[in-house]
Amino acid sequence: MNWQEEYKRKSISTKEAARMVKSGDRVVFPGGRESYALGMALAARKDELKNVEVQVPVPNYDFGWYDQGWQDSFQVTIMQATVLSQHAVDGKHIDFNTGTLFPFHESDEIRPPDVVFVEVSEPDEKGFCSFGASLWNKKRRIREAKLAIGEVNKNLIRTCGENFIHISEIDYFVEHVSSGGSPGQGSLAGRTLKKPELHIKPIAENVSGLIRNGDTIQIGVGRTTEHLVKMGMLDGKQDLGYHSEATPPGVISLIKEGVINGKRKTLNPGKAVVAAIGGSTREEMEWVNNNPLFHVVEVDYLEDIRVIAAHDNMVAINQALAIDLTGQIAAETLGLQIISVAGGQIPFVFGAWLSRGGRAITVIPSTAQGGKVSRIVPTLSVGTVVTIQRNMADYVVTEYGIARLKGKTLRQRTQELIAVAHPDFRDGLQREAQRLFWAS
């Protein structure tokens, strides 16, 4: 049987696919956008199913199961709260996976998926499907699962690297339908970028002073970091490398212009290595399509600390929610409220520390709530998760300057951080620093 015949034999309806899920199964939507038609078909079986574990790393679509009253049918776990799922996290009627350091492999103690639903492109002339704009852990999840079902979206881009799978590794295929009820645009559509806040421009300028020609850059996901390139962080730089989870706005343009060319990269020279492509216009996504400059890999490789550290001059740029005067960095919660996830921040910070010439940069606006509260605080509030230990804090950048914490004493750290705090809060922080760290 040739692959075309095999593909035709494996093509079924979404209802048929959803009926393959049994009560008690573990259903996984791998990293990236969920398969919309399959998700809707599964949610439609709410009254027929019990205790189905559903894992959705970053919710993009509202299938209904984030609301109260679905828990007997679907027990949902997410890794990153979004607007449509934050109420479910706050209400504690879904579970939250705190994430882990990569590489991560399923063990006997962790249950592999019974069913994987994943979005794929149409097969090419050799029977290989692309995962579109993002790979994350999709290939590994398919290979772990008892049953893998692909939702075929004709509008997904194809990228180079490891971002492909042969139809023989997928059990069934269904036709993609978008949230509008018709075939969607997929990864060619790009996305709209929100207007940056005023403090981001000076933060970008301050970070720029820490970046040298030839550095390899990582930029974490976040409301501050996603604007830094567009705000000039890499202006005037040359021969930069790129090894990062995704491509925030401006990165693809700099690759196109040759500013990011990977010429001096220690690993994968000449390639921008990512787990996902995003934050880009349709024109940029079309330029990425089948472009060998982009090397899309699984996150297990991308976030392996040993791989990150093997890059000379690795610069990790990530954002935080709050930081205390000793340098403890919180990027996940404020008190007991879950806001974000560590994601790749931990391995990239550790990798940058181990890199020859590496730097770990934490960006943080000086205030929150419209200037009412300082993000640099004497001590973190009770219950706040420490994402980066104070021992691993390196550079902290706000719109008011750069604090260097690496190798500093507690008193020196307090002075470094107070100097980059908002002026309205410096006197209060100084009084607290003296109370906490100086003898009376």
How far is the C-alpha of 166 from the C-alpha of 209, rounded, in Å? 45
Q: Taking CA 143 as the corner, what is the angle to CA 139 and CA 149, rounded to the nearest 5 degrees?
A: 80
CA atoms within 13 A on the CB side of 219: 31
Output phi, psi for 18, to 5 deg.
-65, -30
Question: What pairs with residue 395 in β-bridges?
Answer: 361, 404
Amino acid code (one letter) for 34: E
Write b or e for each residue in 105-133: b if 16 or more Cβ atoms lie within 10 A of its Cβ, otherwise e: eeeeeeeebbbbbbbbbebeeeebbbbbb
Q: Which of 230, 130, 137, 244 is nearest to 187 (CA)?
A: 130
Instruction: For the chain, state the CA radius of gyration.
Output: 23
Distance of CA 276 to the CA centre of its chain: 9
* Contact by Cβ (8 Å): 316, 218: yes
Three-class SS of residue 42? helix
The answer for 214, left when phi > 0, alpha when psi is -120 to 50, beta otherwise, is: left
Distance of CA 48 to the CA centre of its chain: 34
Q: Please enumerate in sequence order all residues whose Cβ is within 8 A of that of 63, keeping only pairs 6 or more positions apart, or say none.
A: 34, 39, 40, 42, 43
Would you name the residues annotated as active-site residues?
A: 245
Other beta carbons within 10 Å of 380: 21
Q: Please enumerate in sequence order all residues whose Cβ is within 8 A of that of 185, keeping only pairs 6 or more positions apart, or say none.
A: 155, 178
Q: Please enumerate in sequence order all residues whose Cβ is within 8 A of that of 192, keeping only pairs 6 or more positions apart, or say none.
A: none
How far is the C-alpha of 367 from the C-alpha of 154, rounded, in Å? 44
Distance of CA 24 to the CA centre of its chain: 29
Tokens of 129: 């499907």
Q: Please enumerate in sequence order all residues whose Cβ is within 8 A of that of 177, keeping only pairs 6 or more positions apart, or say none.
A: 14, 36, 37, 40, 183, 184
